Amino acid sequence: MFVRVFRDLCRQTGYSNEHNVVRRCLHVTQQMEKNRDRRSFLASVPRIDEGTEGEKFVYIDSAITKKEDMFPDMNTSNMLFGGIKFSDIPICHIKSSKNNTILHVTKPSGERIMIRSCGMEGFKNTRKGTNIAAQATAIGLATRVLELGIHTVRVTIQGLGPGRMSSIKGLTMGGLKIISVTDDTPISWNPLRPRKQRKL
């Protein structure tokens, strides 16, 4: 800070070598530069991927298309997808948190068929909490599940994290057919007291 004040003093008194220096008020300059530094710093930090693509912006082509048949009704559970009833199709539970992604394929009753997580896939520490790890895990899970003869799944997602969208993408890349996407995030309007805020 002192260096900046000194530099500005030089500019004011004309000691600077540069000729085309804009003369600015010392105090204002300092305040503004501080503000600008913070703004540029924040701009340079990459935004955290929470897997909420489409939350703030609408894509034109999806805004135009009709959406009536995209939402389930009372008859949906009896609809047939590839010869199987909707309610009998296995479920893929995805729990994406800040530091990990867990994928869990179950029968409709809840019995486990297969579970994979980024940690099991060989990613360790901070690499677990990336969208690449989530996608690789999902592809691995999809190939294993296809060997068991499961081709279509329903997907439920829990939590916001880097694996929220990318794991679904990985499932489709692995060859599974997804017929529905459900958000299962536990949200409470009168929650228990959460942990205290982080000090930054």
Partner 1 sequence: MKHLKFISRTVLVRNENVDEACRILNRIMGSEGFLDQYRRTRYYEKPTQMRRRINYEKCKAVYDEDMKRKINFVLRKNRPEPFPGCY
Q: Is 175 in the site for partner 1 (CB under 8 A)?
A: no
Which one of residues 100, 133, 154, 161 is an interface residue with partner 1 (CB under 8 A)? 154
Whether 51 and 161 have beta carbons less than 8 Å apart is answered as: yes
Return phi, psi of residue 32, to 5°.
-65, -40
Which one of residues 47, 60, 196, 200 is an interface residue with partner 1 (CB under 8 A)? 196
Give the nearest distance from C-beta 134 to partner 1 in angstroms: 14
How many residues in the shown chain lie near partner 1 by CB under 8 A? 46
Q: Are strands 91-96 and 112-117 parallel, antiparallel or unpaired?
A: unpaired
Per-residue x/- marks for partner 1, 75-114, CB under 8 A?
Answer: -xx--------xx---------------------------
Taking the CB of residue 133, how many other CB atoms lie within 10 A of it? Answer: 26
Question: What tokens were used for 171?
Answer: 């499932």
The dihedral through the CA atoms of 197, 55, 128, 106 has a sign that is positive
Q: Which stretch binds partner 1 (CB under 8 A): 9-17, 33-41, 57-65, 128-136?
A: 57-65
Closest to partner 1 by CB, 10 or 160: 160
Query: DSSP class of residue 29?
Result: H
Taking the CB of residue 90, how many other CB atoms lie within 10 A of it? Answer: 20
Torsional class of 82: left (φ above 0), alpha (ψ -120 to 50), beta (otherwise): left
Q: Is 189 in the site for partner 1 (CB under 8 A)?
A: yes
Residues of this chain that bind partner 1 (CB under 8 A): 51-56, 58-59, 62, 67, 69-74, 76-77, 86-87, 154, 156, 160, 165, 168-169, 172, 177-185, 187-189, 191, 193-198
